[in-house]
Amino acid sequence: MAIYNEILTGRYARMLQKLFGMKGSVPTKQLAGEITTTINLFSGVELRYLEQWDRFGLALQVIGVAANVSGVRFRNPVGSNVIAVFESLLVANDSASSGDYFISLGAIAADLASISSLVGSRLDPRGRNAPTLIVTSQATTPSIGFLTAGIARPALLSASTIPIILTENQEITVLPGDALQVLSFNLNSSMDVSAVWRERLLEESERT
C-alpha cells in the first residue's frame, strides 16, 4: 500500500541514517501530514563545542630566502580519525614585488622543514588546547611539490591579501592522510598565512 506523501528520493533518508547512525528500516518514509510551525534557535560558533568541535587559529609568517620558494602545509596525520574543516584562510604577499601563489589539497605523509608550535592555538577554552593538524613551513628549498587538487592560484601585488574562503560552501575539509598547502611560486618571497579551522572525531558511519 502506498504511503501518504511518500518520500521517493532515497538519498535524504540515507543521509539521516548516516548522520545519526540509525539502524534498521528507513527512518522517514513520508512527509508530515500537515503544515507545522517551528522556531529555529540561533546556533553560532559559540555552541560548536556542544557538537564536539574544537576551533583553532594560526597566523604564520614565512620569510623569503634567496633562490628558494616559501610554503605552508596543514597536514592531518594518517589514522588520526579526525576531520578538520577550514573556516577561514588568508594569504598575504609580504614581499616588495608581486607574486603568484598556489593553494592545493591532497594526500601526503611528509611535513615541511619547520614545525609550528600550536599549543594554545585554541579559540575556545572549553575545547582542546592544541589541534591534531600538524602545521609546517619552509623557505629553504628551490621547489615544493604541488598536492593533487588545486583550489586557487591567486596573483597578489606587493603588500596585498586575498581570502580563499568566502562562503560556507567554500570551507575546506581535510581528512586523515590529507594536507592543505599554500605555496609561493616566486623565489625569495615572504608571505603570511592566517587560518581558522575546527576539528572533531569522525563518527563510525563517516569512515566509509
22 shares its domain with 54? no
Residues 6+ apart with CB under 8 A from 171: 85, 86, 87, 165
The reported pLDDT for the residue numbered 5 is 80
Say how many domains are in the chain: 2
Q: What is the mean pLDDT of the chain?
A: 93
208 pLDDT above the threshold of 80: no
78 shares its domain with 131? yes
pTM comes to 0.90
139 shares its domain with 194? yes
108 shares its domain with 193? yes
Q: For residue 166, what is the domain's CATH number?
A: 2.60.120
207 pLDDT above the threshold of 90: no
- 207 assigned to some structural domain: no
- Rounded to whole angstroms, the Cα distance separating 66 from 13 reads 57
Write out the DSSP string of 58-124. EEEEE---TT-EEEEEEE--TT--EEEEEEEEEEEE-SSS-EEEEEEEEE-----SEEPP-TT-BS-
Output the nine-digit C-alpha cell for 46.
559559540
pLDDT, one tens digit per residue, over 90-138 is 999 999 999 999 999 999 999 999 999 999 999 999 999 999 999 999 9
Which of the 8 DSSP states describes residue 6?
A: B
Owning domain of residue 20? 1-39
pLDDT, one tens digit per residue, over 104-116 is 999 999 999 999 9
